[in-house]
């Protein structure tokens, strides 16, 4: 009886720390495959995300997915783009993604550290779905993503999305219709580089 209780306490302690963005914590989460049950519970979100991307960015050849995990949403992105690179800080998750989706490239680490080694210098779009709620460097991550593409697609789970809303008020950002699936809600945003943002980048 003691062992199951200890295991439950261990999983609870790990889940309490999941939003710190610590790679060790996320690897511990991924000791169990699909720890958030994404493959079985969030197909609705994946399909709705694809529909929003297709509406605002209809022609996509290459896609860079930040926070790809085991590749549950990557599989859906394959309906939009023929060339996909996935990035995640969890090596355990990426091992499963590479087995499940061998046609795509998967890299471990933070995007800012991986920029020189990305297979492509530019992508048609970068996605940050359910990734900004982890860790504390959201603005830096967005800036790194913007250096890779002229278009970004972002989703944030409610209620954590409330504390991130200020990140999407600048030039080029557009709030999209809310994604609702299985009694859950996600804020969605789209960013497109404009002449104003290009001028700011050039000045920097």
Chain segment 35-75, per-residue pLDDT in tens: 888 888 999 999 999 999 999 999 999 999 999 999 999 99
Band (160; pLDDT cuts 50, 70, 90):
confident
pLDDT at 86: 98
**What sign results for the dihedral spanned by CA atoms 127, 132, 134, 140?**
positive
What pTM did the predictor assign?
0.87
Decide: 100 and 75 in contact? Cβ < 8 Å.
yes
Angstrom CA distances, 68 to 54, 98, 101, 104, 128, stand at 19, 11, 12, 11, 9
Residue whose C-alpha is closest to residue 145's, from 163, 166, 131, 159:
131
Token match 């209809």: residue?
Answer: 58
């Amino acid at each position: 009886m003691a062992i199951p209780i200890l295991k439950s306490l261990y999983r609870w302690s790990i889940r309490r720390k999941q939003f710190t963005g610590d790679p060790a914590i996320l690897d511990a989460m991924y000791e169990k495959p699909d720890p958030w049950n994404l493959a079985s519970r969030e197909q609705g979100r994946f399909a709705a995300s694809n529909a929003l991307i297709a509406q605002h960015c209809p022609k996509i050849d290459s896609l860079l997915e930040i926070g790809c995990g085991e590749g549950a949403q990557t599989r859906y992105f394959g309906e939009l783009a023929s060339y996909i690179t996935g990035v995640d800080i969890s090596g355990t998750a990426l091992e499963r993604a590479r087995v499940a989706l061998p046609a795509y490239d998967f890299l471990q680490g933070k995007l800012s550290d991986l920029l020189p080694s990305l297979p492509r210098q530019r992508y048609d779009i970068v996605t940050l779905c359910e990734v900004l709620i982890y860790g504390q460097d959201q603005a830096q991550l967005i800036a790194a993503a913007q250096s890779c593409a002229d278009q970004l697609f972002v989703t944030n789970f409610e209620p954590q999305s409330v504390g991130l809303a200020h990140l999407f008020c600048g030039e080029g950002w557009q709030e999209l219709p809310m994604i609702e699936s299985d009694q859950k809600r996600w804020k969605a945003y789209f960013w497109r580089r404009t002449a104003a943002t290009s001028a700011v980048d050039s000045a920097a």
